[in-house]
Amino acid sequence: MTQHTHFAWALQTAARIRKMVRDDHRNILTLFRHYLSAPADSRHAIVEQILHQLAAHFQTEEELLYGDIRNRGDRQRRMVEEALLEHEEVKAMMWELQHAEADDDRALDEFFEDMMQTVQAHFVAEERDLLPAALEKATYHIPSPEGRGDL
Ligand SMILES: [Fe+2]
Ligand SMILES: [Fe+2]
């Protein structure tokens, strides 16, 4: 692989990951809004979808995105640590939702709105801070084929 194609490949990969993360964010927030306006009998299925998509999304990010970014410097490592704490916070909410009693609709709605706000704030910070950092990586931390180190 030439230096140019290696470089282009890394940029394309970073751009693909960015798009995937952004698309996930849009889809998950759309599901949250559906839940809040859905009739009671379809809510359970929407909750299941949200839990499933959030779990898959967090796993993808933790495997593909955060690991690369955290190795790039102190600022990036702190951003990733912050993001992981936010994942833990949302995962705790997901656990609560899975174990919630289904008989108090109002409490569940309030919990759900809180969770949506927490998730949304995380997505906004991620798109503002982490996704640009993912693309920066592709522009300079790629060893050249001649072994000269970073571009
Ligand atoms: Fe995340
Ligand atoms: Fe995300």
The pLDDT tens digits of the residues spanning 82-133 come to 999 999 999 999 999 888 776 777 888 889 899 999 999 999 999 999 988 8
Q: Compute the distance from residue 86 Cα to the ligand 1 centre, in Å.
A: 7
C-alpha 59 – ligand 1 centre gap (Å)? 9
Cα-to-centroid distance, 72 and ligand 1 (Å) = 18
Q: What is the 89 CA–ligand 1 centroid distance (Å)?
A: 11
Instruction: State how far the Cα of 125 lies from the Cα of 147, in Å rounded to an integer.
Output: 36
Q: Does the model's pTM come out above 0.85?
A: no
Cα gap 138→72, rounded to integer Å: 11
Using N-to-C axis directions, what is the helix angle for 105-125 and 3-37, rounded to 10°? 160
Closest CA to 80 of 117, 36, 129, 41: 129
Rounded to the nearest angstrom, the distance between the alpha carbon of 74 and the centre of ligand 1 is 19
